[in-house]
Amino acid sequence: MTSPKQPSIAKFKEFVLESVETVKSLESESIYPYIEEQLQILIEADHLYILVLEPPKRYNILSLDRIYEPQMKEEHLFSEVITKKQPLLLKDLEHSLLYKEKLDNLTDHEIEELVLVPVWIQKEKRATFPNILVWGAIEKNSDKQFSQKQILYLIKFLEGVKPYFPNVENREKLTLAQCLDNTHALEKAIARDKQYFHSIIHDVRTPMNALIGFLDLLALNETDITKKEYLHSALKSGEHMVRLINDALDVAKIESGELPIEKKPFDLHDALADTVKIFYETARKKNILLSTYIDPLLPEKIISDQYRIKQVLSNLLSNAIKFTPENGSILIDIVLDTNKNVITIAVSDTGIGIKKEALEDIFVAYRQESSSTERDFGGTGLGLNISYQIVSLLGGRLRVESTEGEGSTFSFDLPAITPEETKPLIELTKIDKSVRLYRWKKRKDIRAKTIRRYLKRFQLNVVLEDANGTLKEIYQNSNYNKSDIFIIEKLFIDEDDYEYTQLLLDKGCSVIWIEDTFGITFNYFKGNIVKLSYPILTKKLYEALQHKDPQESEKHGKTIDFDTNLSEKKILVVDDNRINLKFMDALITKMNMKVRLADDAETALEKLSEEKFDMLIIDENMPKMLGSEAIAIIKEKINNNEMESLAIISLSGDSHHGDRIRKAGADEVLTKPVSIEQLKSVIEKYLS
């Protein structure tokens, strides 16, 4: 049979049935070699071996005629797969923290991609070692490439044939054909549900596109700091809602083996800061103290998938908040190991913790500690499994430590791959001042500890003022210098302290004032005073210590420079949602270009036949005619010289439609909601 690399369900079913019929007729010693051949057809590897367990923990590699024993006390790919009970696909072994060449490479060749799939045949509840391990590899400079889809078929194939492996007892009562028929019916039902699900997702994404777009427009050139903070919070909350929608879509992508990973340079601090701010508010409402430490020595930029890293952190923070009771605490700790060049992102909580026996299956899909966990706390049990798969694809490692009743720490390591000449996040320069912490001496909460940790990292001289003292006593005491910086938290001061804060400012001291995000108390002071709001993050604290107002760069609001040479360009926008049309009209007008609007594809085709346009921006999901159908017609007219050429940009609420739209002839496909920066970038790319 030819390779079913991307087969239909029917073709795959035929492939499995043929394989089973052949296996039935083989002698025991011929079964594993035959299965190896069939697996090779499925995933087209340069090397593929079946490792058969010889208890207690040795594996016989039949094709190589040798024994392999995984080193379970060391961290490497085999130990990871066995302990986490998860199949793994690694794409870039050079930068993977899981792969150890001496322990994981069964050949003498240089390997680029590797897949390892464990198979438990017998049904012992606590079987530590899988009965079978399938090891597949692709060499460097090979023209082959593993896909998640191939690995999915490999796993399904192994599930289908494993009852016929030698020495297997308690085979299923249903025949394989019956199982495959049942699976086929189930997958058809799932496909119907997915179609309905994707239509709902589109209906949500379309209004979110307008909501985020208008918030973005309002933020442009906004000078009022308070209004800007409101807009920023609303915008980030909207973006977080979109990420939740995308998380739901990712469940389907993982199940179908199509989860995309895109590695590009980005600012890790800023990316994670956005996520932390959103979850800080969620934690605050539950009276949970949340604090974040971001190592100043982190590289300014790393090369990885920004969206996926934020997705994993969001999943871990969501769980931490869910399982931490009121008055508990959560620490997000992001540090760089300069020796190993590894970034570790850890989320520690003082929650309910996890039973020791439950830790073994914590990363298995749909697995929660108990049925009461879902009942009491909610959730599907998918978040950790998704996170585990994502971190592995990023070349990292996700781990957990937990004590029942005391809390948990989930952490993931990432390779610190950086662009050339990348500087550290903060190039530390000596601040020749003493920092005086007022009313913090006896405080033991996580936020106070984190601020002191930052100050120590900045190599500052820190003075803890007497917890029972007052600013009046400090002011009257000569034991401070005019260059000193006082860090004062509004929550822990007396009424008289306001007056003496101003007197200290009058004397020439600096003050870092910490209050709630939208508080206005600090505005009443005059002098060298800077306001910080929780969560306290590296960049803003360091700027404040140098007496650079962290908000100074934002006082003039968010600005975007538009290309002034595009004023003669004309764009046709097509969307059946009038709010989206209104947003696009406002944006393109702001960019000083001409804009025409149409609310369906047929009207758009009429306008294109009457006027010359430089660009078409068209929505995909519209009544009467899909955007891709209209694009195909336009492309045909252009090819027949019936219409002048123009750039075609498609907007879609469903990323699954991308291939169809590109095939129709679109130059770019953008998934809603689309930011102003995205639209600006695409417009300038094709019209400048």
| pLDDT at site 571 | 94
Name all contacts of 592-599 with Cβ < 8 Å and 24+ positions apart.
592/562, 592/564, 592/566, 592/567, 593/566, 593/567, 593/569, 593/683, 594/568, 594/569, 594/570, 595/570, 595/571, 596/570, 596/571, 596/572, 597/572, 597/573, 598/572, 598/573, 598/574, 599/574, 599/575
pLDDT bucket at 122, cuts 50 / 70 / 90: low
Q: How far apart are CA 464 and CA 424, in angstroms?
A: 29
Question: In the predicted model, is pLDDT for residue 409 greater than 80?
Answer: yes
Q: What is the CATH number of domain 9-173?
A: 3.30.450.40
CATH 3.30.70.260 fits 434-549, yes or no: no
Question: In the predicted model, is pLDDT for residue 376 greater than 50?
Answer: no
Whether 253 and 591 have beta carbons less than 8 Å apart is answered as no
Whether 44 and 6 have beta carbons less than 8 Å apart is answered as no
Question: In the predicted model, is pLDDT for residue 238 greater than 80?
Answer: no
In order, the DSSP letters of 373-425 are HHHHH---S-HHHHHHHHHHHTT-EEEEEEETTTEEEEEEEEE----TTPPBS
| pLDDT at site 99 | 94
| pLDDT at site 47 | 95
Mean pLDDT across 247-256? 59
Closest C-alpha to 535, from 293, 347, 316: 293
Query: Of the given ranges (368-372, 382-386, 405-409, 625-629), which has the lowest mean pLDDT?
Result: 368-372
pLDDT higher at 518 or 379: 518
Fill in the DSSP letter of residue 445: S
Query: Of the given ranges (88-102, 310-324, 485-499, 552-566), which has the lowest mean pLDDT?
Result: 552-566
pLDDT bucket at 512, cuts 50 / 70 / 90: very high
pLDDT higher at 570 or 122: 570
Mean pLDDT across 275-294? 88
Sign of CA dihedral 464, 468, 472, 474: negative
With b for 16 or more beta-carbon neighbours within 10 A and e for fewer, the 436-458 pattern comes to bbbbbeebeebbbbbbbebbebb
Question: In the predicted model, is pLDDT for residue 541 greater than 90?
Answer: yes
- Residue 116 phi/psi, 5-degree rounding, is -135, 120
Mean pLDDT across 463-486? 86
Q: How far apart are CA 561 and CA 638, in angstroms?
A: 33
Average model confidence (pLDDT) across the chain: 82
User: Alpha helices, DSSP H only, in 220-305?
Assistant: 225-255, 268-285
The string of pLDDT tens digits covering residues 330-351 is 999 999 999 999 999 999 999 9
| pLDDT at site 4 | 45
Q: What is the CATH number of domain 261-415?
A: 3.30.565.10
| pLDDT at site 7 | 59
What counts of helices (H) and strands (E) characterise the chain? 20, 23
Question: In the predicted model, is pLDDT for residue 488 greater than 70?
Answer: yes
Tokens of 102: 């001496």
Domains 434-549 and 564-687 share a fold: yes
| pLDDT at site 174 | 46
Closest C-alpha to 234, from 211, 250, 201, 262: 211
HSE at residue 582, side-chain half, CA atoms within 13 A, is: 8
| pLDDT at site 546 | 84
Closest C-alpha to 345, from 385, 302, 374: 302
In order, the DSSP letters of 224-239 are -HHHHHHHHHHHHHHH
The string of pLDDT tens digits covering residues 180-222 is 555 555 455 555 555 555 555 656 666 676 667 677 777 766 7
HSE at residue 543, side-chain half, CA atoms within 13 A, is: 15
Q: CA separation (Å) from 147 to 256, 305, 385, 387, 532?
A: 11, 18, 19, 18, 47
pLDDT bucket at 685, cuts 50 / 70 / 90: confident
Mean pLDDT across 617-625? 88
Mean pLDDT across 527-551? 83
pTM of the predicted structure, to 2 decimals: 0.70
Specify whether the backbone of 266 is left (phi greater than 0), alpha (psi in -120 to 50) or beta.
Answer: beta
Mean pLDDT across 27-53? 92
Mean pLDDT across 514-533? 76
Question: In the predicted model, is pLDDT for residue 377 greater than 50?
Answer: no
CATH of 564-687, one of 3.30.930.10, 3.30.530.20, 1.10.10.10, 3.40.50.2300: 3.40.50.2300
| pLDDT at site 357 | 82
The string of pLDDT tens digits covering residues 71-86 is 999 999 999 999 988 8
Q: How far apart are CA 137 and CA 61, in angstroms?
A: 15
| pLDDT at site 371 | 43
| pLDDT at site 176 | 55
| pLDDT at site 374 | 42
Q: Which class for 617: exposed (0-12), middle (13-18), buried (19 or more C-beta within 10 A)?
A: buried
Query: Of the given ranges (57-66, 71-80, 414-423, 667-676), which has the lowest mean pLDDT?
Result: 667-676
Q: How far apart are CA 120 and CA 158, in angstroms?
A: 10
| pLDDT at site 216 | 72
Question: In the predicted model, is pLDDT for residue 368 greater than 70?
Answer: no
Query: Of the given ranges (500-504, 530-534, 548-552), which has the lowest mean pLDDT?
Result: 548-552
| pLDDT at site 236 | 67
| pLDDT at site 506 | 92
| pLDDT at site 350 | 95
Question: In the predicted model, is pLDDT for residue 678 greater than 90?
Answer: no
Question: For the chain, what is the radius of gyration of the CA atoms?
Answer: 30
Tracing tokens 């003075």 back to the chain, one arrives at 463
Instruction: Sketch the domain layout of the chain as residue ranges.
Output: 9-173, 261-415, 434-549, 564-687
| pLDDT at site 284 | 84
Tokens of 670: 């953008």
